[in-house]
Amino acid sequence: MKKQLKLFITGTDTNIGKTYVSAGILTAFNNIGCSTLGIKPVASGCERMNDELRSQDTMTLMQHASIKLDHDDITPFAFEPPIAPHIAAQEAGRILSVTAINEKIRHALHYPADVSVIEGAGGWHVPLNHSETMADFVIANQLEVILVIGIRLGCINHSLLTCQAMHSEGAKIKGWIANCVDPEMRNINENIETLKEWLPIPCLGVIPHGSRAEEVLDVEGWL
């Protein structure tokens, strides 16, 4: 590879499979011989293990990445309550900002991995504090963005608004991935075709419900 690939995985909402897709991307790159690293700078809803906070999402990324760094190196901001990160940070008395995140993950973000997958928290505009969102972190680090769209009722509106916001803020958008999270949704194919027609960014893959992301995504074409 001529350059390191740094992908930021965001979503149209929470609980739409960002971690599932991120793990699949890591595995897919592993399968073609790339070294991989998973990073999740901010995580809420963490569990206490041996008196330390651990994120299940982070543990999943660590499991699927070929490079194993310490939990605190890739998730320096771990909060126990399953609430918005900026509120959790306030309750914990911690400063959450773009500068603070960059300082804490500098080692991980600049680690010599072929592919780094950085998973966001929630959607594109999740607040970090009173004036910054996770989007500011992405823009500051010039990360390439992949939008995970959970295919369920309401996803078209959420997707169009998110894409519009990313474009207006100058994000480097690589494309979007459809993750079929609701097997009972009616007209799934029609919704996906509508998204392909309306979104001005490429579709990188469609993951049917129950499928393994790494078996669907052609990541070799992303290099």
**Which tens digits make up the pLDDT trace of 16-46?**
999 999 999 999 999 999 999 999 999 999 9
Identify the pLDDT of residue 2.
56
Q: What is the mean pLDDT of residues 130-145?
A: 98
Catalogue the active-site residues: 40
Centre a 10 Å sphere on the Cβ of residue 100 and count the other Cβ atoms it contains: 19
pLDDT exceeds 70 at position 101:
yes
Residue 223's pLDDT band (boundaries 50, 70, 90)?
Answer: confident
> Domains in the chain, ordered, with CATH?
11-114+121-126 (3.40.50.300)
Q: What is the pTM of this model?
A: 0.96
Tokens 């910054």, located at residue: 132
The interaxial angle of helices 155-168 and 188-198, nearest 10 deg, is: 20
Residue 135's pLDDT band (boundaries 50, 70, 90)?
Answer: very high
**Which tens digits make up the pLDDT trace of 154-207?**
999 999 999 999 999 999 999 999 999 999 999 999 999 999 999 999 999 999
Residue 3's pLDDT band (boundaries 50, 70, 90)?
Answer: confident
